[in-house]
Amino acid sequence: MAVLEQLNADGRGHMRILVTGGTGLIGSHLVKLLKPKHDLVILSRHTVKTNNARMQFIKGDVTNYSTVEKSASGCDVVFHLAAQTDIALSFKKPKLDYKINVEGTKNVLKACKSCGIDRLVFTSTAAVYGYQRFVPIKETAIKKSTSPYGKNKLIAEKLCDKFGSFIVRPFNVYDESDRSYSNINKFCSLIKSDKKITIDLNRHDTRDYIHASDVGHALLFGLKDIGTYNVGTGVETSFPDLIALISGKLNKQAKVVYQGDDKKIRRSCADISKIMHDFRWMPIVRLEDGVERIVKN
């Protein structure tokens, strides 16, 4: 049974839903899943034209409370995805990161209370974990983020948790669109152009790559439940293995230089046993298929 059909069977029918960041990497997939059944209000910094009378786009961002309150008015549920997600930028502009990721979340929560909305779904990040000695990483692992981004998202998590929210921690998210800035997309572009790939990590460092559409499906469980969940594949992929996969799909040799940085996260992989157990959720898009989509795009 599809996720939305399952939720409707459990009593969650037609609703008016606000999606902040609804034109982003994950948000665009979530909107596709929600729009057949619900009326949507999409708060985004980007203007999108639509002929769908059940979709309303509001240009703005979550740092402006009046815009957030206007967007939330009349809604039953809020999916809060709008965020500053660039870790490097969070070091360069920590105040900006805090303003968007913490103050913006406060605005969303304030608007929920003002508009009588009792259901919030929040997209956090695996960056809250920071360096972990043991993988796969459970939701209960001690949070050791060293980046302003990870620390601020953890602050936002705690605010949402007090409200009573459904929180997901996606790992390395990608898709085949130009919204995706993951390693996969970057490496595909560089190999296609016969350009050198410089990786400021070690050869055997790993990441857990999850397709944005799978994250979108996981978010839907927030329509009926609360809690905090990892969203990944549960599979570690090393950089040499990822590059070999991409090179094979492109039938081109990659030029790679590793510049190991021990200050960065070495291994990253989600323990997804909790979300699998509670909702029978499983990622659908295999890494091989996701890379194939990017190569063909």
Q: Give helix 287-296 / helix 183-192 axis angle, nearest 10°.
A: 50
CA–CA separation, 18 vs 260, rounded Å?
Answer: 42
Token output for 172: 């390395």
Burial of 116 (0-12, 13-18, 19+ CB in 10 A): exposed
Rounded to an integer, what is the distance from CA 267 to the centroid of its chain? 19
149 as an active site residue: the answer is yes
* Token pair recorded at residue 196: 């050198």
Q: Is the peptide bond before 94 cis (omega within 30 degrees of 0)?
A: no
Cα radius of gyration (the chain): 19
Which is catalytic among the residues 65, 98, 129, 149? 149
Catalytic residues: 149
